């Protein structure tokens, strides 16, 4: 038994990327956004881990993988407070803060049921904007906003 220890026992990686402080209920969205389902690298997940900040949090460790800025920033759509640590030789060599990209192509479904992208094989496209501090995705096609509380991630198949 652990005696109230905060240490996480998700095995360390030598080189790669750690995504920490993901709200537990967003874990599968993050996996899907980063396309980890089709990733051949060694990946460790932990979820429903106790977190003082989030209650339950999740963590993802991807060995030997260093994401492009534009790629990793997409995570901000569903888990903006995720902490990114770049690991080299078991050491954290860089910490990254996520920034919501100005434009989002694909990934997200438009919430407007009458939007053409929900009826024809069209890649969605949004610009991001903040309305009273709340993230909104403005659809390039139907010109309607999808709120960040309403995001549906497009998953293949």
Partner 1 sequence: MPKSLISIHDFTKEEMLHVLDVAQEFEKNKVQPILRDKVIATLFFEPSTRTRLSFETASNRLGARVIGFSDAGNTSVSKGETLKDTIKMVSNYVDLIIMRHPLEGAARYASEVASVPVINAGDGANQHPSQTMLDLFTIRQTQGRLTDLSINMVGDLKYGRTVHSLLQAMSHFNPNFTFTAPDELKMPQEYKDFLDAKGIPYHETRDLEGSLNDCDILYMTRVQQERFTDPMEYEKVKNTYNLTASMLGGARENMKILHPLPRITEIAQDVDDTKHAYYFKQAENGVYARMAIISYLLGYK
**Of 127, 126, 152, 147, residue with least CA distance to 136:** 147
φ, ψ dihedrals at 104, nearest 5°: -120, 125
137 binds Zn ion (CB under 5 A): no
Alpha-carbon span 121 to 32, nearest angstrom: 20
Contact call for residues 73 and 100 (beta carbons, < 8 A): yes
Instruction: Choose among partner 1, Zn ion, none what residue 119 binds, the Cβ cut-off being 5 to 8 Å by kind.
Output: partner 1
- Nearer Cβ to partner 1, position 52 or 119? 119
Token code pair at residue 120: 């024809």
Task: Tell me how far, at minimum, the Cβ of 137 lies from Zn ion, in Å.
Answer: 9
Query: Which residues contact partner 1 (rule: CB under 8 A)?
Result: 112, 114-117, 119-122, 139-144
- C-beta of 76: minimal distance to Zn ion in Å? 21
Interacting residues with Zn ion (CB under 5 A): 110, 112, 115, 139, 141-142
């Amino acid at each position: 038994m652990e005696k109230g220890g905060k240490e996480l026992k998700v095995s360390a990686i030598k080189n790669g990327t750690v995504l920490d402080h993901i709200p537990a209920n967003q874990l599968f969205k993050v996996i899907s956004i980063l396309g980890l389902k089709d990733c051949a690298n060694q990946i460790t997940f932990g979820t429903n881990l106790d977190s003082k900040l989030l209650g339950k949090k999740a963590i993802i460790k991807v060995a030997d993988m260093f994401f492009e800025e534009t790629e990793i920033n997409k995570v901000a759509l569903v888990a903006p407070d995720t902490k990114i640590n770049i690991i080299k030789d078991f050491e954290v060599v860089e910490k990254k803060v996520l920034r919501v990209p100005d434009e989002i192509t694909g990934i997200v479904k438009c919430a407007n049921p009458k939007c053409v992208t929900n009826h024809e094989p069209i890649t969605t496209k949004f610009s991001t904007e903040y309305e009273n501090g709340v993230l909104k995705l403005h659809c390039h096609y139907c010109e309607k906003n999808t709120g960040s509380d309403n995001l549906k991630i497009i998953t293949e198949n």
